[in-house]
Amino acid sequence: MNPAELPTARDIVGFWRQAGPERWFAKNEAFDAQFRERFLAAHEAAAHGELDHWAQGAEGALALLVLLDQFPRNTWRGNARMLATDAKALAIARQAIEAGLDLKTDEELRRFFYLPFMHSESLDDQQRSVELNAALDANTQRFAVLHRDIIARFGRFPHRNKLLGRTSSAEEQRFLDEGGFAG
């Protein structure tokens, strides 16, 4: 697709803002299909680095994080592809936070600068997630602590094992069987 035909950062952030918390983290096939249809080409461009220049501003960085961290989770649920751009999202989040771009964003949307840390299987990233999310609402902070505690306990997210072809340890399987976090 011609870059001029891609949605703008403003289009992406506007769509995401309008979707709101009731759609951001819910499994909704109709919303996922709409998200995929409108922004698949932009996701692919972002994944290939064609939109990296957006990371220089708050709105552009936020749009990239939605495209690289949230879009895959809605588009490829239950498929390892949903994690394929996590490292790129984390790199952009680090850069944006270092530049203070997260603080130039509405608090409700600021969490999307921090989610790549929460999605990481690195304990250092998880600790950073807890620190960053401490300034947000209690529910977001609760999830940050939950994610960190899972990584501290297992060194990875057991609910990703099957998806990534990893063998679960007996302790991980017990955790999952007892209703452990499902992602």
Least confident of 3-12, 37-46, 92-101, 120-129: 3-12
Please determine, for residue 66, whether its predicted confidence score (pLDDT) is greater than 60.
yes
Measured torsion, CA atoms of residues 7, 40, 181, 146, in degrees rounded to the nearest 10: -30
Please determine, for residue 4, whether its predicted confidence score (pLDDT) is greater than 70.
no
- Is pTM beyond 0.85? Reply is yes
User: Could you tell me if 117 and 90 are in contact, meaning their C-beta atoms sit under 8 angstroms apart?
Assistant: yes
% residues pLDDT > 90 (the chain): 92
Mean pLDDT on 118-145: 96
Mean pLDDT on 88-105: 98
Mean pLDDT on 47-72: 98
d(CA 160, CA 166): 8
pLDDT of 3 reads: 57
Q: What is the mean pLDDT of the chain?
A: 95
Measured torsion, CA atoms of residues 10, 13, 14, 20, in degrees rounded to the nearest 10: -170
In a 10 Å sphere around its CB, with 0-12 CB exposed, 13-18 middle and 19+ buried, how is residue 99 labelled? middle
User: Could you tell me if 68 and 113 are in contact, meaning their C-beta atoms sit under 8 angstroms apart?
Assistant: no
Alpha-helix residue ranges (DSSP H) falling in the chain: 9-19, 21-24, 29-47, 58-65, 71-75, 86-98, 107-118, 123-133, 138-154, 161-164, 170-177
